[in-house]
Structure formats: structure tokens, C-alpha cells
Amino acid sequence: MNRIDEAFTNKPIFMPYFPLGYPDIETSIDVIEALAKNGADLVEVGLSFSDPLADGPVIQQATQVALEHGITVKKSLAAVAELRKRGVTIPLVLMGYYNPLLAYGLEAYVADSRAAGADGFIIPDLPLEESAEFEAAAGDMPLIRMLAPTTPAERMEKVARQARGFIYLVSVTGVTGARSTLAEGLGGLVSRVREHTSIPVCVGFGIGTPEQAREVGGMADGAIVGTACVKAIGGSSQPVESAARFAQEFSGAIH
């Protein structure tokens, strides 16, 4: 059983997102280590890109800072390897846009990700129809599929049936960002996805509080928390301590 499958033996799971390089490389490694060791079941590790089309202003600003401080794909993978050296054992899934990966070289990116200790990939701007080349390079490392409320039923079935690892279900239309309330009809949306697959379904976009994470955990197999995580930690004078507290609060709520 791989690390992703192991994580889902105790559902629902808490999955924070944090970009490497923000506010600097060393601090981001410390932050992700703190998240991992204080209740996160899986971390979505952000690779920064200059045109993050799926992300809202909080994550855009964080990834821009990371780029200004010199983060690269190569440095990001070295950071993942450092996290493994520090004893982080939970799954680390790399979230990055396609252009930097193409520039790096797909086979080299997968090989170096595997060597660093990554467990899978999220590429929000790579549609199913154009993903064969990457999936061939990735082999047994899953490319996590994304679905949204606007996904047509026929396409939802096609994507869900081919999905591996888990499904990233976008709860709202639009970009990332915490919302004051969860999307209406979320439970029905999760149920529709589950009609087509037996793999876990995790909900992201719009989860801003531990209470919302708990509510999502009652409907889905996991809650993905990005903007609220980046905002709480990035706005703190003690980011590592804030990361530990954030993970404890959300993990305690969802479990």
C-alpha cells in the first residue's frame, strides 16, 4: 500500500496546502514539517508559477513572493527531499502548473520527484485529453484529477473512472479562496462523483474554518485547505508555531 492509500485508511483526512519558498525556502520547509507533525494527513505542496490561473489573491501573492525569493522546481524538489530527511512520513503531493514541468522535462521531473519522496501530482491546467504524455512518464505515481460543479455528467463519469489516488473536487466555481459558507448542494455533488468511482473524494476551494472542515468531513473523504492555511501562516510573526496550531485545530475538528 502506498502512502496516499495509507492516509485514507482513517477517513476523513485533513489536507493543507502550502507553497514552498514562502516567505522563504527555509521557513516554508519548517512550516510544512510543522503541518505534517501536528495533524495533517497529507500535504499539498505548492510549486510556484508566474501565472497561477486557478488561484485567488492570497495564494497568488504567496507564490509571487516565493518566485521573487528564487524558488524553482529544482529547489522545491530538494525541499521535499529535506522534509523526508527530517522524518516527515505523510504523503506529499506536488501541486504545480504544466509550463514549468515541461521546461524541466517531464521524465526528469517525475524521476526527481520520485527520488525526493513525493507521492503524486496535481496539475490544475492539464486536462484529461492532454495528459497521456505526463501519465506515461508518471507511471505508478498518480496524477490527481480535478472535478467541479460545472463538470458535465458524461465528463465527470469519464474523469472519475480513470482517477487514481483521490479526486480533488472543487466545491465552487472560480478561483481558490476561503468563503464564509460552504457551497449549497455540496453533499449532492460528492454523491454524484461517488457514483462513478470507489476512490476517495476530497473537497477543496472555499474551506476557511475548522467548523467548515468538520462539515466537509461529514460529506467527503477529506478537506483540502489552502487559502486559509497560507493566510494564517503567512500573516504570522511566528509562522512555524502558527502552522502547528493551524494543523492541530483543523485536524482536531475534522477527526
CB atoms within 10 A of CB 101: 23
| Strand stretches in the chain, DSSP E | 13-19, 43-46, 92-95, 120-122, 143-147, 167-170, 201-204, 222-225
pLDDT in tens, 147-161: 999 999 999 999 999
What is the model's pLDDT at position 177? 45
pLDDT in tens, 184-218: 789 999 999 999 999 999 999 889 999 999 999 99
Residue 55: active-site member: yes
* pTM of structure: 0.95
What burial letters (b/e) apply to 47-76, b meaning 16+ CB within 10 Å?
bbbeebebbbebbbebbbbbbebebbbeeb
Closest by Cα among 200, 201, 247, 212 to 17: 247
What is the model's pLDDT at position 54? 67
pLDDT exceeds 50 at position 108: yes
Which residues lie closer than 8 Å to 231 by C-beta, 6 or more apart?
58, 178
Q: Catalytic residue among 44, 119, 215, 221, which? A: 44
The grid coordinates of residue 93 equal 503531493
Closest by Cα among 96, 25, 85, 57 to 178: 57
Q: Fold for domain 13-143+210-250? A: TIM Barrel (3.20.20)
Residue 44: active-site member: yes
DSSP summary character for residue 128: G
What is the model's pLDDT at position 176? 52
| Torsion sign, CA atoms 29, 65, 51, 111 | negative
Where are the domains positioned within the chain? 13-143+210-250
Q: Catalytic residue among 41, 55, 135, 215, which? A: 55
